[in-house]
A and B are shown apart, each in its own frame.
Chain A
Amino acid sequence: MGGQVARWQYLNPGKTLAETLNISHKTLLYVEGVTVSFDGFRALNDLSFYVDLGELRCVIGPNGAGKTTMMDVVTGKTRPDSGYVFFGQTINLLELDEPRIAQAGIGRKFQKPTVFESHSVFENLELAMAGDKRVWPTLRARLSGEQRDRIDEVLGIVGLREQARGLAGALSHGQKQWLEIGMLLMQDPLLLLVDEPVAGMTHQEMDRTAELLRSLAGRHSVVVVEHDMDFVRSIAKRVTVLHQGAVLAEGSMDDVQQDPRVVEVYLGE
């Protein structure tokens, strides 16, 4: 069993979880036959979904289709009733809790932006930074020059250099979204799950976000959930349409838009 291997390898002190990752088949995330029920209501219904290494994938679907729930399952927030979720071929995500999944290399931006409001923007990035996050090393941690540079670089990427010393709680909605994306970058994950990144953004801000997400693909795999069709069109190569907790269609934006089932449930509304 792959899960057994993952658990055993985690216990092996010589290797970190991220090092046990096996992606020789070029598929980074496997979600197979996942079902999640809330009081009998199936938020995910036998969902299967795969993400390739380095790809930028958009997930669309009407409200309540199960997009956020899918991310909850992958990041360990929600346990499915059945199904498999693997990161690479060996790491069974259903056996890991949220911090271990994060350490394995999966980062997440929430639908409702959540940053640490009483910390400065700089500190938010510092806390998210990849590294040894156990108690004692965290107590002793000092920022090296290299790490400062990296934080500064990310501040530049997300356009928050001027706000670096200000409290994250004082940022505008759009800036919080960016800070959260910046925190994702600091984690340096292999897989980024980005839930509704442009909600509350101006068109200009949206364009910059699109550019940013495009630039991340390749080095990272990025899964973006978004309702704004123009935005999706501007970044997506492949689009997955979720409906009632299962994949309704998958393909290029044009393909899915012409799919009559998609038109019926979603685009035609």
Chain B
Amino acid sequence: MIIRAMKDDTGGQILLAVLLAAVLLVPILSLAVPDSSPLHLSTYTVTLLGKYLCYALLAVAVDLVWGYLGILSLGHGAFFALGGYAMGMYLMRQIGDRGVYGDPVLPDFMVFLDWKELPWFWQGFDMFWFAALMALLAPGVLAYLFGYLAFRSRVTGVYLSIITQALTYALMLAFFRNEMGFGGNNGLTDFKDLLGFDLQSDATRAGLFVASALALGLGYLACRIIVTSRLGRVTVAIRDAESRTRFIGYRVEQIKAAIFTFSAMLAGLAGALYVPQVGIINPSEFSPINSIEIVIWVAVGGRATLYGAAVGALMVNYGKSLFTAVFPDAWLFALGGLFVLVTLLLPRGLTGLLRQRSAG
């Protein structure tokens, strides 16, 4: 199945090979090579790379629905953030009595709000498996409900994109409120450890990098298996001629909802891996602009290729790191300019350019 899914996908093969090499090399370069060596990778770099991989997974998830299903989701940042919050809640509960107020159960912000007991929706998040499950289920259930309602009423195109923006915006406003019980505008932070491993240690960071690389690799494979299956061909058929697909007997709403839900769960997984690496999750992750940024990564890398989305996420974010170091305030302009340039000059993105070169 895996071989079949990867057979005609040179770009994907390269991506997986690079990921595999990174999984082997990065921990060695970070942990075994001495600090003095030029080959040594600093904790900062490892964390940065791990963060990029989470973005790449997020971009692959968006490409699955945008490139193959034709749904321009401008709300995937919400699914990413929900996964992140689920992980953040686990990390908060791991702090235990080491918080500023020293309450054994309640996170600091709840003590501060004078809450007496843990709200019901925080129950169970002291267990890693539960939090991990929620990081997938919360975005999944939201995406399914959203998809069921939107697709059933046959909302498509720009209108659908606008609703997805509204979805993430509404969640942002909700999570900003202290009464929601997710830490208000400060969000969740000051994490100490994950599964007993100190989050500040180099080894944990290397471990999180490896986990992110594996998640990206497996997420990529799963998406390839879908797009190379008959379901994937139906998905493209829906993208290109939705009503025709109905008339040959496919339940378009259900297929859309299924793919959309799966994609949201991948985004949630990316968010869950992202939060322990950056050490914070707050409502700004729901900001509509974040979701637009993801779409730009995909466009820059090349839509409907999957690996292009990953490449786009890595390159744009690397560029962002360089750019914001020099012009901290001008990034959004640069991003907007980049999007316009790519749309006008490279409709197939950077990987499309490469494919053209190698073919011609």
Contact = CB atoms under 8 A, between A and B. Distances in A.
A associates with B? yes
Contacts of B241: 114-117
Interface in B216-251: 226, 229-231, 233-234, 236-237, 240-241, 243-251
Given A98-B243, A135-B254, A119 B248 contact: no
Contacts of A222: none
Question: In the complex, which of the residues B230, B231, B240 has the most CB atoms of chain A within 10 Å of its own CB atom?
Answer: B230
Contacts, number: 78
A142 to B, nearest CB: 8
A110 B251 contact: no
Interface in A75-110: 75, 77, 97-99, 102-103, 107-108, 110
Question: Which of B226, B240, B243, B258 has most chain A Cβ within 10 Å?
Answer: B240
B248 A135 contact: no
Contact of A119 (B233, B255, B258): B233
A117 B244 CA distance: 12
Interface residues of B, number: 23
A141 B226 CA distance: 11
B229 A141 contact: yes
Contact of B249 (A116, A117, A133): A133
Given A102-B249, A133-B250, A123 B244 contact: no
B251 A99 contact: yes
B252 interface: yes
Contacts of B252: 99
A139 interface: yes
Contacts of A97: 246
Interface in B294-322: none
A138 B249 CA distance: 12
Given A77-B243, A116-B241, A138 B234 contact: yes
B235 to A, nearest CB: 10
A249 interface: no
A139 B240 CA distance: 19
B233 A123 contact: yes
A188 to B, nearest CB: 11
- Counting chain A CB atoms within 10 Å of each CB, the highest count among B237, B249, B252, B254 belongs to B249
Given A114-B241, A135-B255, A138-B234, A128 B248 contact: yes
Nearest to A114: B244
A98 B229 contact: no
B231 A127 contact: no
A127 B240 CA distance: 13
B234 A127 contact: yes
A198 B69 CA distance: 32
A189 to B, nearest CB: 9
A203 interface: no
Contacts of B230: 126-127, 138-139, 141
Given A126-B233, A127-B237, A134-B254, A187 B244 contact: no
Nearest to A132: B249
B318 to A, nearest CB: 31
A240 to B, nearest CB: 22
A165 B258 CA distance: 29
A123 B231 CA distance: 12
Given A103-B249, A126-B233, A138-B234, 16 more contacts: A75-B247, A77-B243, A98-B246, A108-B247, A114-B244, A115-B244, A116-B237, A126-B230, A127-B234, A127-B248, A133-B234, A133-B249, A133-B250, A135-B254, A140-B229, A141-B231
Interface of A: 75, 77, 97-99, 102-103, 107-108, 110, 114-119, 123, 126-128, 130, 133-135, 138-141, 183, 187
Interface of B: 226, 229-231, 233-234, 236-237, 240-241, 243-252, 254-255, 258
Which 5 interchain pairs have the tightest Cβ spacing? A102-B249, A98-B246, A139-B231, A141-B230, A138-B231
